[in-house]
Structure 1
Amino acid sequence: MNRRIVTRLSLAGIMSLSLYAPSISAHDNLDDVAIEKGAQEGELTNISMLEGNKNLENWYEAAAVQIKENDGIQNSTADVYAHKGFAYLGTHTAGGGNGGVRVFDLKDPSSPIEISKFADDIPGTWQEKVIVKTVNTPYFKGDLAVVSVQQLDRGNALSKGGFLLYDVNDPYNPKKLGFWELDKRVRGTHELYLTVQGNKPVVLTANPYADYYTHGEQKDFALVDVTNPANPQTIYEFDPRMLNEVPEDFNGYHWNSPDGKTRPVFNHSTMTDNTGKTAFLSFWDLGTIMLDISNPYDVEYLGRTDFAPDVQGAAHSSALAKGGTVLIETREVYHPTREGYERSYGYTRIFDIKDRTNPKLLSTFKTDLVDHVEDGVTFANTVHDPKVRGNTLYLSHYAGGVRAVDITDPSNPEQIGKYVPEQAFFWGVFIDQNYILASDMGQGLKVLLKNNSKNK
């Protein structure tokens, strides 16, 4: 049964709930920075609601569907993507991983149907990120899916990391095409992106700590030509040493920054603008790095964001607005009491990047959670992933649900809505057609629709 809960920002009726904590293990963890995180047990005030104003006041929860058990095991969800009326959900580590990518038919968005599962064939791995795009090459025509693959335990002789490529022309029957494999010492590809330059599909990979674990033999960022999905070819890798402020003896991860601090440096996420000509690398305390990849065989460094000495970096993910002239940078800070830094969980920064060699900070956006500094470490209060549709920024915020922010004036962002169902723990959000998709790690796929949509 669909449940409609729409209120103004003055909604009362607050419930105190025990935060649902998905079964998640920390993975690569150097010092106290873990690239794969999870919930911590604790109490959080949750508001079971969808509330908003302006362009969000007519949205309602149309569907909440848990993913199917996998051989009697309930996996947790990771990121979400949509393409041609189908939703693609990656899976996280609960239940021992290997949950694959789950495909949902959204013909009726108020009743999504799980129709297939793929990319679960490499033992001891998990499949967090999936991107699907239509490509046309001499080797493959149609809908191509790329899926990140990460090892749960590098000591497992059967596991390996990298990314998988699938033919999803028929989402009911995905077909494996190829695999791009990383060195066994590297966990794998954490986040990735698929862009198309003319008729050349190129995958951008974030391979955290690759430089560190392979002593520079492989890099945290790679461009991979997948014109022939059965034979992906690496054509470029990024080395932070190309930045003047990073010393030649940089060995990945630890960076003695100009502010006197030793900061963590690794590539967490990557994406491009709509043209596929500029790459954005979320390089933690090196900020968001911008590269000109218009010629992927001759890449040029453009610029990067940076941080004040008292601000933890933690550049986690990015999105673009205003025709690519505005950069949204989310920072996943879950240790808010680190000595020498401000007391705050992760919040969002907004930049003018019309001149990509000189990004200018326009504003910061904080939810009501980020200043609630508690003892211990929690992921509940930090921002996670951003998406933009028009002048609205959508943020997945773990137990803080999904937040909607008006960025008509990027210098003055204003929260205009939030969706916080009971026991929420959101990993990703995606905007497609007339609906908002969100992946709740413990509860599966959530679909929000406008009131004037066909299905209510």
Structure 2
Amino acid sequence: MPLDPTPSRRTVIKSLAAAGVLGSADAASADPPGERDEQLRLFSEQAADNAMEVVTQQNHAYVATGDGMAIVDWRNPSRPELVADIEASDPDEIGGDDEGSVGGILDVKVDGDLAAMAHNGGTGITTVDVSDPENPDELAFQNAGHGVHNAFLKDGYAYLTINESDENVFSEARTDIVDVSDPSDPEKVGEYRLGDDFPEFAAAGVNPNHDVYVQGDLLYQAYWDAGVVVADVSDPTDPELVAQFGDAPGADTPQPDPFPVERYYAGEGNAHYVQPSPDGDLTFVGDEKFPGAFQEDPPTEEFGGVRIFDTSDWNDVEQVGFIAPPDVDVGLRTSHNFDVTANRIHTSWYNGGVRVHDITDPTDPELLYSYNPEGYSFWTAVRGRGFTLGGIYGARSDIHDGGVVFLHADRGQRRAPSFEGSAPPSGPEIDVDEEE
């Protein structure tokens, strides 16, 4: 999900609906001809109300639910079970900053016995002990002073997306680095600030820090129109620039007032999610775009896909491949979150479903499998234990559930989940705490 740049979000949502980009939950969403024999099979499923981001570690899946986190035990993948569902506590209830606030949890992460809930509608993260997944224990609230759209946990540190503003929207975009080696007493120890190395990008107002990924000593940051910025965090107290690439034309040009929502949501750029290959030689950048709200005939192959960059040499980064969005006539079908393995990428496309591509030749990715049941919208696709886990985006409605589906290429049934499908997204941004 993109960050909401201005109070004009309602106007954008109305224009999306008027343009027909939102679709309806019962619209046809069959895979294109010729792909029927390549569908992933539904092996099992588990409903989880208001599901958004899903991550998996060994035998458990962790699900962001807006107001908290659900945990699914899938030691037996044929019978997954919801074993915990917690609502984030107020900071003062768990020894946190009384000035902080919780809510709008779109993202969770887990590393070993520690999980973190990121408060997009609040001001920080909550650390959670998940050594016993059936009894998760909130440990502390780290007040970052701003909403945290996404976060990452690795080796005793949490990396938080922060988008502070002064007169210009997103002018203080950065990553906060928090020491969580003692998760009951987290402490900020460093930051990477976009404006330190790229002041023009920071001042332009269209370059929020949307998501982060850490591999080895490298922090990968998706800065929307500014593309990807990679920093060395071998010393988390003093991150150093490694490379920047994939920016959109004009990403360093200050934007006019009122804020150009068409440019922000539908223009070139929109680096939404980033993840390297396990060896780091490739970096995958998902662009989230919504052109149907602003263009009468939006392109079908040129927007909202996944760009593939050769990053084997940081001094000579170049784009070598592209994965186009599904060509399906329903709802939103732009790239959202994905997971990269040595030779596969597992992708989610909202109403475009879940897809798996062979990336052995990154210049020519090959579609292997897809899963796109009618009326469902997917937030996440992630690999685990030989399965593709699809996170079904739960609508804010008493009559719809989100959840997790466990998909397999050969085992299971060719059918939709049995729990109710979620409605399509209500637009390019979600504010969990906002009243309808």
* Residue of structure 1 aligned with 2:359, choices 397, 407, 413: 407
Deviations 1:322-376 (A, max 9, x none): 511100000001135768xx94431110001112243211112113338x7xxxx
Higher helix proportion (structure 1 or 2): 2
Contact 1:119 1:127 in 2 (8 A): no
In structure 2, relative to structure 1, the CA distance for the partners of 1:172 and 1:111 (3 Å cut) is same
Extract unaligned runs of 5+ from structure 1: 1-23, 68-74, 93-97, 135-142, 152-159, 256-262, 373-377
**Distance in structure 1 (CA, Å) of the matches to 2:268 and 2:230:** 20
Contact 2:278 2:341 in 1 (8 A): no
* Residue of structure 1 aligned with 2:161, choices 186, 206, 213: 206
Task: Please tell me the residue identity of whatever aligns with 1:241.
Answer: G
Q: Which residue of 1 aligns with 2:212?
A: 270
**Distance in structure 1 (CA, Å) of the matches to 2:387 and 2:127:** 27
Q: Which residue of 2 aligns with 1:332?
A: 288
Deviations 1:309-333 (A, max 9, x none): 3961110001222511100000001
* Residue of structure 2 aligned with 1:313, choices 269, 272, 283: 269
Compute the displacement of 1:286 (Å): 0.7
Deviations 1:110-158 (A, max 9, x none): 2211111125224761222111112xxxxxxxx111111122xxxxxxx
User: What is the TM-score with the length of structure 1 in the denominator?
Assistant: 0.72
Q: Is residue 133 of structure 1 aligned with residue 111 of structure 2?
A: yes
Contact 1:330 1:383 in 2 (8 A): yes
Is the partner of 2:195 in helix, strand or coil? helix
> CA RMSD, aligned part only?
3.4
* Residue of structure 1 aligned with 2:178, choices 193, 216, 224: 224
Task: Please tell me the residue identity of whatever aligns with 2:120.
Answer: Q
Compute the displacement of 1:215 (Å): 9.2
Q: Is residue 64 of structure 1 aligned with residue 45 of structure 2?
A: yes
* Residue of structure 1 aligned with 2:139, choices 177, 201, 209: 177
**Distance in structure 2 (CA, Å) of the matches to 1:405 and 1:37:** 31
Task: Please tell me the residue identity of whatever aligns with 2:143.
Answer: E
Q: Which residue of 1 aligns with 2:150?
A: 191
**Distance in structure 1 (CA, Å) of the matches to 2:376 and 2:170:** 40
* Residue of structure 2 aligned with 1:240, choices 182, 185, 194: 194
Is the partner of 1:380 in helix, strand or coil? coil
* Residue of structure 2 aligned with 1:116, choices 81, 84, 87: 84
In structure 2, relative to structure 1, the CA distance for the partners of 1:296 and 1:173 (3 Å cut) is same
Deviations 1:30-58 (A, max 9, x none): 28789x999954254312799969xx959
Considering Cα pairs closer than 8 Å and 6+ residues apart, tell me whether 1 or 2 has the greater RCO.
Answer: 2
Deviations 1:207-260 (A, max 9, x none): 2x324489999753111111111111111122222225x34xx7x5x51xxxxx
**Distance in structure 1 (CA, Å) of the matches to 2:114 and 2:247:** 37
**Distance in structure 1 (CA, Å) of the matches to 2:326 and 2:142:** 41
**Distance in structure 2 (CA, Å) of the matches to 1:109 and 1:148:** 27
Q: Which residue of 2 aligns with 1:447?
A: 406
Q: Which residue of 2 aligns with 1:291?
A: 231
**Distance in structure 2 (CA, Å) of the matches to 1:270 and 1:37:** 26
**Distance in structure 2 (CA, Å) of the matches to 1:81 and 1:445:** 10
Deviations 1:248-299 (A, max 9, x none): xx7x5x51xxxxxxx61110000111x2x00000000110110011111221
Task: Please tell me the residue identity of whatever aligns with 1:444.
Answer: G
The 5-angstrom pairing of residues 247-262 of structure 1 reads 247=200, 252=202, 255=204
**Distance in structure 1 (CA, Å) of the matches to 2:171 and 2:320:** 38
Is the partner of 2:279 in helix, strand or coil? helix
**Distance in structure 2 (CA, Å) of the matches to 1:220 and 1:384:** 21
Q: Which residue of 2 aligns with 1:354?
A: 312
Contact 2:130 2:136 in 1 (8 A): yes
**Distance in structure 2 (CA, Å) of the matches to 1:224 and 1:50:** 49
Compute the displacement of 1:447 (Å): 0.8
In structure 2, relative to structure 1, the CA distance for the partners of 1:50 and 1:81 (3 Å cut) is farther
**Distance in structure 2 (CA, Å) of the matches to 1:117 and 1:403:** 28
Compute the displacement of 1:390 (Å): 2.4
Task: Give identity over the alignment, percent.
Answer: 23
Higher strand proportion (structure 1 or 2): 1
In structure 2, relative to structure 1, the CA distance for the partners of 1:296 and 1:213 (3 Å cut) is farther
Extract unaligned runs of 5+ from structure 2: 91-100, 251-266, 395-401, 413-436
The 5-angstrom pairing of residues 38-49 of structure 1 reads 41-43=22-24, 44-47=27-30
In structure 2, relative to structure 1, the CA distance for the partners of 1:90 and 1:337 (3 Å cut) is closer
Q: Which residue of 1 aligns with 2:114?
A: 144
Q: Is residue 164 of structure 1 aligned with residue 123 of structure 2?
A: no
**Distance in structure 2 (CA, Å) of the matches to 1:37 and 1:169:** 41
**Distance in structure 1 (CA, Å) of the matches to 2:315 and 2:154:** 22
**Distance in structure 2 (CA, Å) of the matches to 1:362 and 1:33:** 34
Matched residues, number: 369
Q: Which residue of 2 aligns with 1:28?
A: 4
Deviations 1:85-121 (A, max 9, x none): 01111114xxxxx2x1111110221221111112522
Is the partner of 1:179 in helix, strand or coil? strand
Task: Please tell me the residue identity of whatever aligns with 2:352.
Answer: G
In structure 2, relative to structure 1, the CA distance for the partners of 1:219 and 1:306 (3 Å cut) is closer
Q: Which residue of 2 aligns with 1:19?
A: none
User: What is the TM-score with the length of structure 2 in the denominator?
Assistant: 0.75
Shifted more, 277-286 versus 228-237: the winner is 228-237
In structure 2, relative to structure 1, the CA distance for the partners of 1:264 and 1:83 (3 Å cut) is same
